[in-house]
Amino acid sequence: MEVKIFEPISFCFGVKRAIELVNKIREEYPYNNIYLFGELIHNKSVMDDLALKGINVVEFSKNSAEVKLNSFKKGDIVIFSAHGHDKNYEEILIKNGVKYFDSTCPIVKINLNRISKANGDVIFVGKEGHPETLASLSKGKNVYLYDINSKFDYSQIKSEQVYVMNQTTLSIFELKRIFKDIKEHFPNAIFTDEICNESRIRQENIASISDDYDLVIVIGDKNSSNTTKLFDIANKNKNRKNYLVSNLDEVKTIDLSQHKKVALFSGTSCPKYIIDEIFEYLRGI
């Protein structure tokens, strides 16, 4: 089978940076309990590898976060995810004398700083419950969520000046549609359009691959925002088969007998070894 890997593939710089930070902390604090407050990145294989090093994820919801943060003890180390977090969480740890580290991607941080400085109402376009959305909403009462899966209630916006910011890993096509809707209500709104390049280039590549490919496989976890967006874009082309898989075992369940040419893409949190395994398997068919 003819197989082509479309670059960029595997980890983006934000994910690499977060994993390196966690490994460095493990080395520096070999005897402390180290916790990830929410998944560092959305990839089960990476989280399993970290668990083998004794670094476990503490799951939380908006309602349970405070109780969970208060359960950490002096000597514990808490690491916040690469997607961002509510800044108020840090205050709780400081009050309790618990050491913490922030692995937030610099691109997400730029966006969060922009939101903090906005002198008016901010419409934040994102997915409800995603850590980046929660971090952005925590920036102030002037930040309103335009959930990508719901209609937005424009009557909430009272300020003369409206800023529009967005989650960094949304689909560029979905965002275009939502920006058009917002422009119709607020023609003078200031738009930032901060889809990170790591996501944007992958999306543009998958949207423009030639029709010679009769199969597209997107590799990554189903709870990874940028991965599912890649798959959504691929899936718009119904003339070929498109699959989202997280590992080689899932590829083995696909009937490949009718396929001759396959294009491989991955989300930004997918380890390279998983891509290599799938590549070698497909090449051998």
261-266/2-5 β-pairing: parallel
Q: How many helices (DSSP H) and strands (DSSP E) are in the chain?
A: 11, 12
The alpha carbons of the chain give a radius of gyration, in whole angstroms, of: 20
272: helix, coil or strand? helix
- Selected from 77, 107, 118, 135, the binder of ligand SF4 by CB under 6 A is 107
Mask for 66-95, x = binds ligand SF4 (CB under 6 A): ----------------x-------------
102 contacts ligand SF4 (rule: CB under 6 A): no
- Can residue 14 be called a binding residue for ligand SF4 (CB under 6 A)? yes
Please report whether residue 268 would count as binding ligand SF4 according to CB under 6 A. Answer: yes
Residues near ligand SF4 (CB under 6 A), total: 15
| Cis status of the peptide bond prior to 8, with omega within 30 of 0 | yes
Q: Does 264 bind ligand SF4 (CB under 6 A)?
A: no
Token pair in block for residue 110: 């730029």
Nearer Cβ to ligand SF4 (83/241): 83
Q: Is 228 in the site for ligand SF4 (CB under 6 A)?
A: no
Which of 13, 243 has the CB closer to ligand SF4?
A: 13
Is residue 168 a contact residue for ligand SF4 (CB under 6 A)?
yes
According to the binding rule CB under 6 A, does residue 55 interact with ligand SF4? no
Sheet containing 77-80: give its strands across: 55-58, 34-37, 77-80, 99-102
Question: Which of these segments, 11-19, 24-32, 139-147, 172-180, binds ligand SF4 (CB under 6 A)?
Answer: 11-19
Our finding on whether 199 is near ligand SF4 (CB under 6 A) is yes
Let me know: does 146 contact 163? Beta carbons within 8 Å: no
DSSP single-letter state for residue 247: S
Least Cα distance to 102 among 74, 117, 88, 83 occurs for 83
Minimal CB distance residue for ligand SF4: 14
* DSSP-H helix ranges across 118-241: 131-137, 172-185, 197-207, 225-234
Instruction: Name the residues that contact ligand SF4, by CB under 6 A.
Output: 12-15, 82, 105, 107-108, 168-169, 196, 198-199, 226, 268
